[in-house]
Amino acid sequence: MTTTELAKSFEPHTLEQSIYASWERSGYFEPSGIGDGYCIVIPPPNVTGSLHMGHAFQDTIMDALVRYHRMQGCNTLWQPGTDHAGIATQMVVERQLEREGLTRHDLGREAFIERIWQWKKESGGTISRQLRRMGTSLAWSRERFTMDEDLSSAVREVFVRLYEEDLIYRGKRLVNWDPILHTAVSDLEVVSEEESGHLWHIRYPLMSGEGYVVVATTRPETLLGDAAVAVHPEDPRYHALIGQAVELPLTGREIPIVADDYVDREFGTGCLKITPAHDFNDYEVGQRHGLPLINVLDHSAAIDLPTSPYHGLDRYIAREKIVSDLETQGLIEKIDEHRMMVPRGDRSNAVVEPYLTDQWFVRAAPLAAPAIRAVEDGRIRFVPDNWQRTYFEWMRNIQDWCISRQLWWGHRIPAWYDHEGNFFVARTEEEATAQARAHHGHDTTLHQDEDVLDTWFSSALWPFSTLGWPEQTASLKALYPTNVLVTGFDIIFFWVARMIMFGIKFTGEVPFHDVYVHGLVRDADGQKMSKSKGNVLDPLDLIDGIELEELVKTRTSGLMQPQMAQQIEKTTRRQFPDGIASYGTDALRFTFASLATQGRDIRFDFGRIEGFRNFCNKLWNATRFVIINTEGHDPGTQQATDLDSPERWILARLNSVTGEVIASTEQYRLDLVCQTLHSFVWDEYCSWYLEIAKIRLANEPNEDRAQAVRQTLLSVLETALRLLHPLMPFITEALWQRITPLTGLTGPTIMTQPFPATDALRENQDAVADLDWVKAVVSAVRNIRGEMDIEPRKRIPILLQSENSADISRIEQYQDLISELARTKPLAMSTPDDATPECATALVDTLRVMVPLGSLIDRDAELARLKKELKRLETERSKCEGKLANRQFIERAPDVVVVKEKNRLEQTVNAIDELIQQRQRVEGLLG
RNA sequence: AGGCGCGUAGCUCAGCGGUAGAGCACUUGCUCGACACGCAAGUGGUCGGUGGUUCGAUCCCACUCGCGCCUACCA
């Protein structure tokens, strides 16, 4: 035995990290520079964030694709990097400051930004460390960050060009305003959910002095900014009032009653107050009727009317006060309970306020048109393809994109203002100064726009900015357009659509050819994983394992809502009473890959990961077996030409499996790849071929033939390792390196070995048919043994009977194999004429497999077994007969199907006859 | 209000026009020299419901019931 004997079981943590380090050190992750380009850009995670299950899942898919193509000989780049996550990161650092009793304004912009860079430096390594633990083959030397200087200059370049083409404009518009974060957010960053509220019916007295109209509103405090009351032009109830005026309560202002068919006559009173500065619809109505925009809120959503008694009150406090004042004046007609959609900021959870401010916008429609075309004409393909509907739906109704954010952390907008309010958009301050000089005829002082760009603006450039754009770099030429974007459906709008628009606009080409849209990882109950729910799993906890107490601690610390801690602790203890076992990276990756189906929800199932950890161990031990049986024999993999059928069979199977793996990978069906490889390795290679090899190596006197078995053991294993490598990189590397010396192959790593290819010469129908038959015969004996409760170790006598010459020659050829696999005494042939003892019988097509009853077998058990088998056959027969009795079937079904059905019936009927006779014989025995 | 997805074995999921599959769980045996993270043999499904197309439907179509998601301006 050698000193490098494998451990008895697979222990992932002993090898993963050193293997990864050696890959990285050797530069295997970097593009080779040879072959067709294959490029994936990683969806950049938040630089200060950490890896969650969704990332881990997505990264598994990308790494599998990348490793596969690298082995296929492509010039492969998986581009790593992170984004600056404007709002999220700024919030985190502001919260840190809060603990010190400071705000960002106390520090000032420069110091605050410095502080964020500091935080990035401290926490920024987390995510790349975690990615490394996942085994990702990212080209780390090319790692990018959206705020790197070159990427920032790409951002400015894009901004300026869009501005120059009038595709970016600045304007005072209603935007979604987050009154806690004090910034505009885009419509995508607003999540509306139904909440309960009230519908207040308020009387607005008519100026004529005769009565009042009643308006219904969910937001009485905005009354202060009303500019009109609107009714439907064809509403007979209010027809006479159109053109009249009402007195706006609490303000004494006079506002008109206008007619607009936006009003829904059925809703509320059919009479609507119009607040153009605080509601998107009212804004439109206001535009149509030339109404003034009356802003009544400040940037924290408190009332901003210095002359009013409500000045300075928060919107909800003001609401209460206004309602009570109205009540005092008898102006509240009624208050109804009301369910309504409430828009909240996805980060702050604050109720978002439509708010009138100066912002920068991207004119989206002209950019969308070519982006729509790219998908329509197939230059970009969604996988699964129904996601293109979602894409089209949004793109065809696209709204202008508000890109300015009132934050400090991000790409500052490259626009400079003079004191007159003119602004100059330029790549640099010098250029802006020059523009200003040209404008004014002399130098003026300028100051840069305070706002930064939406993080998604820079993300939209990611596929080409990371490759060096706007420089025409070699990487850009070789690797752009990238091949596939792997992403979740939740960011199709945020990111995918915008990359397509900007990619086409600035490179003239699509940014990627395929968009592979995967599902979202959920917990075992189907719940979305989130820190606040306390159901997150850290991929590293699955890799390394975690004690229950530790898990409870991480799940309950740092909560936004500390009152949830108890509940979270309880469910955690219930769900993971023993903590989480250590499964290793390969098992985790294989699990993710197996879950990469076409669906939307991916429930993480611990049964799966445990099963795949066992699979790793199986592979490990199969390798041990192969090593033990080949070491010292120098078999090589140079396959002998004259192989016996078990070898021809397993090689043929390997060949089909290779074809299936390639096809499934190309279709992004990694779940099928898993299934195929799992069942090949476990059910065919280990359960059958290894067992056959044991027998042959023990009994084979011919050394050449024994060597052929050893070669086959090795070469099938070696090939299987390469097939598995994209999914399970660590164990396959470890085992491959271990067996390489035995195979005579050389090469420093499995990573850069060629991916297996199919070879028509390996196909072998005859060997496959023969081995299927051998397996069926062995299974028949094992079935009798199992059902009869015969000791597994005990050799039993069996008789074989057949008139079929194929059966007879197969028996001749495989008798030793069958007898060993089924643990029988030497096979005995008999003819139907022979007087046969009473037997337990099973049929393999035309072959009768019989185990003499004797003392071994229980007569009742055999009768029960026969009964069960007969029942199965009889249902089958009646199905067949039913079909064949149908004239339509005979006439219309394809001939092959009809013939098949006839054969099936014949076989079934024969089998039934056989078994009935057998039953009679057994019944004839006296019990 | 529109759009989409899902409903297959106890659980998690494949299959999607010609004999219902996998993993886990379950039952019964096994300290056989690779592996108990294992071996062998089993149990378990009117493929959500109703109708239609078809010689034939888990698969295609229509309707329907449940669950979920995404878009949308009903105050």
- What's the pLDDT tens digit per position in A665-685? 999 999 999 999 999 999 999
**Distance separating alpha carbons of residues A376 and A356, to the nearest angstrom:** 37
A838: pLDDT strictly greater than 80: no
CA of A352 vs C1' of B68, distance in Å?
A: 26
Query: What would the pLDDT profile of A416-472 be if each residue is shown by its tens digit?
Result: 999 998 999 999 999 999 999 999 899 899 999 999 999 999 999 999 999 999 999
Which runs of consecutive H residues, i.e. helices, occur in A764-858? 765-787, 805-821
| Structure-block tokens of residue A519 | 């599902």
Whole-number pLDDT of residue A220: 92
| Structure-block tokens of residue A240 | 């006479």
What CATH homologous superfamily does A183-353 map to? Answer: Valyl/Leucyl/Isoleucyl-tRNA synthetase, editing domain (3.90.740.10)
Fold for A593-763, please state it: Isoleucyl-tRNA Synthetase; Domain 1 (1.10.730)
Which residues lie closer than 8 Å to A107 by C-beta, 6 or more apart? A97, A115
Whole-number pLDDT of residue A856: 60
**Distance separating alpha carbons of residues A614 and A396, to the nearest angstrom:** 49
Which runs of consecutive H residues, i.e. helices, occur in A667-764? 670-679, 691-699, 703-724, 729-743
Whole-number pLDDT of residue A714: 94
Within 7 Å: CB of A823 and strand B?
A: no
> Does the predicted interface ipTM exceed a cut of 0.85?
yes
**Distance separating alpha carbons of residues A108 and A577, to the nearest angstrom:** 49
Query: What would the pLDDT profile of A841-862 be if each residue is shown by its tens digit?
Result: 898 988 999 988 776 667 888 8
A548: pLDDT strictly greater than 50: yes
At A797, which amino acid appears?
Answer: P
CA distances from residue A167 to A401, A429, A452, A502 in whole angstroms, order as listed: 11, 21, 18, 11
SS3 (DSSP) at A536: coil
Whole-number pLDDT of residue A925: 65
Query: What would the pLDDT profile of A84-129 be if each residue is shown by its tens digit?
Result: 998 889 988 998 998 999 999 999 999 999 999 999 998 888 999 9
**Distance separating alpha carbons of residues A438 and A434, to the nearest angstrom:** 6
**Distance separating alpha carbons of residues A598 and A593, to the nearest angstrom:** 12
CA of A338 vs C1' of B67, distance in Å?
A: 26
CB within 7 A of strand B (chain A, 530-559): none
| Structure-block tokens of residue A9 | 């079981």
Q: Which nucleotide is nearest to A520 (CA to C1')?
A: B69
How many residues does this entry show for chain A? 927
Q: Which nucleotide is nearest to A616 (CA to C1')?
A: B37
pLDDT, average across residues A625-643: 81
Within 7 Å: CB of A681 and strand B?
A: no
CB within 7 A of strand B (chain A, 178-207): 187-188, 192
Query: What would the pLDDT profile of A11-58 be if each residue is shown by its tens digit?
Result: 999 899 999 999 999 999 999 999 999 999 999 999 988 899 999 999
Within 7 Å: CB of A675 and strand B?
A: yes
CA distances from residue A177 to A181, A182, A187, A493 in whole angstroms, order as listed: 9, 7, 10, 20
Within 7 Å: CB of A691 and strand B?
A: yes
Q: Per-domain residue ranges for chain A?
A: 183-353, 415-447, 593-763
**DSSP secondary structure code for residue A251 in this structure:** T
The yes-or-no answer to whether A183-353 and A593-763 have a common fold is no
Query: What would the pLDDT profile of A284-329 be if each residue is shown by its tens digit?
Result: 899 888 899 999 999 999 999 998 899 999 999 999 999 999 999 8
**Distance separating alpha carbons of residues A578 and A653, to the nearest angstrom:** 41
**Distance separating alpha carbons of residues A524 and A249, to the nearest angstrom:** 55
Within 7 Å: CB of A678 and strand B?
A: yes
**Distance separating alpha carbons of residues A907 and A873, to the nearest angstrom:** 10
Q: Which nucleotide is nearest to A270 (CA to C1')?
A: B75
Within 7 Å: CB of A216 and strand B?
A: yes
Query: What would the pLDDT profile of A494-517 be if each residue is shown by its tens digit?
Result: 899 999 999 999 999 999 999 999
| Beta-bridge mates of residue A427 | none
